Amino acid sequence: MIHNSVVVLFGVTLLYISTTSRLGGYVKILSIQGILLFLFSLSHAETLKLGHTLILTFETLVVKAIVVPVFIHYIIIKLDIRRVTEPYIDNFLSLIVATIIISISFVLSVALRNAGAEVDVLTFSISISAVVIGLFIVITNQKLITHVMGFLVLENGVFMMSLSLASEVPVIVEAGVLLDVFMGVFLMGIFLNRMKSTFESSDVSRLTRLTD
Structural domain contains residue 208: no
Q: Hey, which residues does 87 pair with through a beta bridge?
A: 141
Q: What is the phi/psi pair of residue 118, to 5°?
A: -85, 80
Structural domain contains residue 171: yes
User: What confidence tier does 198 reach under pLDDT thresholds 50, 70, 90?
Assistant: very low
Which of these, 157, 102, 103, lies nearest to 134 by C-alpha position? 157
Structural domain contains residue 132: yes
> Which of the two residues, 116 and 201, has the higher pLDDT score?
116
Structural domain contains residue 76: yes
Structural domain contains residue 150: yes
Domain extent at residue 99 = 2-203
Structural domain contains residue 193: yes
How far apart are the C-alpha atoms of 18 and 7, rounded to whole Å? 17
- For the stretch 118-177, pLDDT in tens is 788 899 999 999 999 999 988 888 777 788 888 889 888 888 887 777 655 555 556 656
Mean pLDDT, residues 75-92 taken together: 73
Count: domains in the chain: 1
